[in-house]
């Protein structure tokens, strides 16, 4: 019989399926053979032919049993695996002699053995305090001896485990976290531990133990298939090396791949990565469920549902679809995902399944609502990673972005990189969310970061091939041609700044010229492109790993970008807004006109301080999120002028407000009969803030020489209800008036430009006044 590593007689595999079937059959045959042999070692059991000789058995009784735990109990014993046996009895005086009759033949065979001798009472006592013993006994399997004794033990251990589940599962969670911190994440390691790393075999065994507590269901078919994949890799590793180590080191990966019928070591790593990510994702869902179970219990019938976005509701610590969610809306899928990320909550598994099965996907080109939802999701920062993984596990990412399939689970085979290509791209986009205040187009930064290495799925220079993919994807995502050209240039030149900053003299004009020449590939947007390249360099380096990015490199890149920008003329601010003919006609028609048409709200009224932010406040009261706003004041007489406010606003969630009610409130505001501030403050106090959700700090910048007739403030902040109202109110408190404004929301990021004048209508030049205004705006935003 084969006891240790005896796999020399196994045929070489020709294909993956036949290889894996052979390994599974070998494990099953070995388990059967071990069972027969071990059963023959107990008293009153006949010797198995070919078993080692042993002393004559003691008299048979019904108070003895031999059980196995661990991989042999699960019939998963690989060539390098250990035997873990328990000799169970009811207080026999001769148990020591019986144990010797069992243990010594096992040791003599060369197998590694972990063994113990216990009564049922002793075994239960140990399981109550020793987590390893408890997990083993939960999967115990009888080999020989008294059935009733084994049944009594299993029933007792299960009862203890379920009775004390709240405490024991907390202990188990802590042990898992400690193990993950030590072993790392299997999916993203070049030399992973197949058993103990996060997403490894032990995590599936933990899932089975949690399922035994009746807190969660047993691992599903996808997780079981992933487990079997890793088990086969572990088996092939032990078989090819003749050792019991579970670490898949680089020099052994090619041989293991061949034993599994795989093409090469890269295909092996992609296979293990896929399996590990499936297990890790299921593990995250499991521990979220356990956390809910261990949380303070609510009274029956008190399940709270709270809207977190259009079509998305928080329920029991997860984001689910709202009852009125429109699955035919091509933006719903990404909008719900973005809402979950910004709320710092996971998507409920059933919701992900429903979206995967029934939600409409954006047509080509994507509508603006779907594109904004993607940017909004990426703008959530690190909180977006888990939500993205949930969509990826459901197969939705490759359906949304077909080119993603080429980089999905692709190993980097580079010690500088700590992630696979696809995870690196998501990490870079999440890191770029902290840099959106540094660029004029945060949407292009986030999407560019997501695509910067997309070419690694194609042959040749990944920057060159990736640029073509990025251009095509930009068009697919619905970006205008100019923006798609910027994305193409971002991917083509994403290594330019870090390579030039570290390999060339940044004070040399030729180095700066190389940067400006690359920026000139997008005429008219050179400065914008350099800003984006600098931000992507930071996000890319930080997502690669600590050895790829440091303070010195960051300073060099920033200085080179500063020198390149200094050599470029022009800026990115829009020109001061002007009244359009239809707006002038509305103003002449009625000095206080209000028009609500779908998402477009236009107001023409006598100009007065605070008109902009009060109107924005009314929209916020009706749960409308401002996407764009243009406001212009045009003097029409010596006594005063007319202000025209043009908003595009969409519901935060649910159905849009009644246009008649919205128009009535706007007219009440114009007449001074609506206290906007009090109602908005009341609503703000009711909004629950979740700790730990990433939000980049707001930024307020004075843009010098941008206008000869006004002082220009640029405000960048995370979009939220009432944002425009807060900014305008802060400026009003500082004694300043908004003569014109251009407000845009790009994904989850508000980029607002305000043309400010003092009470006399002149530009503000006093530094103290400007500093006070900036302080008040920042305070209002934080």
pTM of the model: 0.82
- 777 within 8 A of 728, measured Cβ to Cβ: no
The predicted structure's pLDDT at residue 695: 66
The predicted structure's pLDDT at residue 55: 47
Peptide bond into 365 cis (omega under 30): yes
Tell me which of 49 and 585 has the higher pLDDT.
585
Q: How high is the mean pLDDT of the chain?
A: 87
Instruction: Lay out the sheet containing 141-145: strands in order across.
Output: 113-119, 83-89, 64-69, 141-145
Tell me which of 671 and 352 has the higher pLDDT.
352
The predicted structure's pLDDT at residue 3: 42
**pLDDT tens-digit series, residues 443-463:** 999 999 999 999 998 999 999
The fraction of the chain above a pLDDT of 70, given in percent, is 89
**pLDDT tens-digit series, residues 138-158:** 999 999 999 999 999 999 999
CA–CA dist 755, 734 (Å, integer): 14
What confidence category does residue 504 fall into, taking pLDDT thresholds of 50, 70 and 90? confident
Least confident of 16-20, 226-230, 258-262: 16-20
What confidence category does residue 425 fall into, taking pLDDT thresholds of 50, 70 and 90? very high
The predicted structure's pLDDT at residue 413: 75
- 432 within 8 A of 536, measured Cβ to Cβ: yes
DSSP H or E segment with residue 607: none
Residue 267: both structure tokens together:
């295909």
Alpha helix ranges (H) inside 344-367: 349-358
Straight-line distance from the first to the last Cα atom of the chain, in angstroms, rounded to the nearest whole number: 72
Q: Which of 469, 446, 460 minimizes the C-alpha distance to 373?
A: 446
Count how many Cα atoms sit within 13 Å of the Cα of residue 345 in the half-sphere of its side chain.
25
C-alpha angle 375-376-377 in degrees, rounded to nearest 5: 90
CA–CA dist 634, 579 (Å, integer): 8
């Amino acid at each position: 019989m084969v006891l240790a590593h005896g796999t020399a007689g196994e045929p070489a595999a020709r294909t993956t399926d036949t290889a894996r079937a052979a390994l599974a059959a070998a494990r099953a045959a070995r388990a059967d053979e071990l069972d027969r042999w071990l059963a023959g070692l107990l008293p009153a059991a006949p010797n198995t032919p070919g078993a080692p000789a042993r002393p004559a058995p003691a008299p048979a009784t019904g108070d003895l049993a031999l059980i196995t735990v661990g991989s042999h109990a699960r019939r998963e014993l690989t060539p390098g695996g250990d035997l873990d046996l328990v000799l169970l009895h009811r207080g026999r005086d001769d148990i020591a002699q019986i144990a010797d009759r069992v243990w010594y033949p096992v040791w003599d065979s060369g197998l590694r053995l972990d063994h113990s001798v216990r009564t049922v009472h002793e075994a239960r006592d140990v399981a109550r305090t020793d987590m390893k013993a408890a997990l083993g006994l939960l999967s115990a399997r009888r080999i020989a001896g008294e059935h009733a004794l084994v049944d009594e033990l299993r029933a007792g251990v299960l009862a203890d485990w379920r009775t004390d589940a709240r405490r024991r599962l907390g202990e188990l969670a802590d042990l898992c976290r400690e193990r993950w911190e030590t072993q790392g994440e299997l999916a993203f390691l070049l030399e992973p531990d197949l058993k103990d790393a996060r997403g490894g075999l032990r995590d599936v065994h933990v899932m089975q133990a949690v399922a035994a507590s009746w807190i969660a269901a047993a691992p599903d078919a996808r997780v079981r298939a992933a487990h079997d994949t890793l088990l086969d890799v572990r088996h092939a590793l032990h078989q090819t090396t003749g050792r019991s180590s579970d670490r898949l080191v680089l020099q052994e990966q090619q041989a293991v791949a061949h034993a599994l019928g795989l093409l090469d070591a890269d295909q092996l790593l992609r296979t293990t990565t896929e399996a590990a990510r499936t297990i890790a994702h299921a593990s995250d869902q499991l521990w979220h469920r356990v956390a809910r179970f261990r949380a303070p219990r609510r009274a029956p019938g008190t399940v709270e549902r709270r809207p977190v976005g259009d079509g998305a509701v928080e329920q029991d610590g997860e984001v689910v679809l709202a009852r009125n969610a429109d699955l035919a809306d091509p933006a719903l899928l990404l909008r719900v995902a973005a809402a979950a990320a910004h709320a710092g909550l996971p998507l409920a598994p059933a919701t992900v399944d429903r979206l995967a099965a029934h939600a409409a996907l954006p047509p080509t080109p994507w509508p603006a609502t779907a594109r904004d939802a993607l940017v909004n999701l990426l703008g959530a920062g690190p909180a977006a990673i888990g939500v993205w993984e949930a969509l990826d596990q459901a197969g939705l990412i490759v359906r949304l972005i077909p080119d993603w399939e080429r980089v999905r689970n692709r190993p980097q085979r580079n010690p500088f990189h700590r992630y696979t290509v696809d995870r690196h791209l998501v990490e870079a986009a999440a890191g770029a969310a902290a840099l959106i205040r540094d660029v004029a187009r945060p949407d292009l930064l986030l999407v560019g970061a997501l695509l910067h290495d997309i070419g690694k799925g194609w042959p040749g220079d990944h920057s060159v091939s990736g640029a073509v993919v990025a251009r095509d994807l930009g068009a697919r995502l619905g970006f205008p041609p100019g923006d798609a050209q910027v994305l193409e240039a971002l991917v083509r030149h994403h290594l330019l700044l870090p390579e030039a900053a570290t390999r060339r003299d940044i004070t040399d004009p030729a180095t700066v010229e190389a940067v400006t020449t690359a920026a000139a590939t997008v005429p008219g947007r050179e400065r914008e492109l350099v800003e984006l390249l600098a931000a992507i360099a930071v996000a890319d380096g930080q997502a690669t790993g600590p050895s790829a990015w440091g303070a010195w490199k960051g300073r060099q890149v920033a200085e080179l970008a500063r020198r390149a920008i200094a050599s470029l003329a022009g800026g990115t601010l829009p020109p001061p807004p002007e009244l359009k003919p239809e707006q002038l006609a509305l103003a002449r028609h009625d000095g206080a006109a209000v028009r609500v048409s779908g998402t477009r709200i236009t107001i023409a009224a006598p100009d007065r301080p605070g008109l902009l932010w009060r109107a924005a406040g009314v929209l916020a009261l009706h749960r409308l999120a401002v996407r764009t706003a243009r406001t212009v004041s045009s003097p029409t007489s010596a006594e005063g002028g007319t202000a025209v406010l043009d908003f595009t606003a969409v519901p935060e969630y649910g159905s849009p407000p009644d246009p008649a009610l919205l128009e009535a409130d706007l007219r009440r505001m114009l007449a001074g009969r609506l206290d906007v501030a009090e109602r908005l403050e009341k609503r703000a106090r009711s909004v629950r803030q979740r700790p730990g959700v990433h939000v980049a700090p707001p930024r307020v910048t004075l843009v010098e020489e941008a206008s000869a007739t006004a002082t220009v403030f640029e405000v960048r902040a995370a979009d939220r209800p009432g944002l425009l109202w807060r900014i305008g109110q802060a400026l009003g408190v500082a004694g300043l008036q908004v003569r014109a404004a251009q407000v845009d929301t790009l994904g989850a990021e508000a980029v607002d430009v305000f043309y400010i004048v003092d009470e006399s209508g002149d530009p503000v030049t006093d530094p103290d006044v400007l500093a006070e205004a900036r302080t008040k705006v920042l305070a209002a935003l934080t």
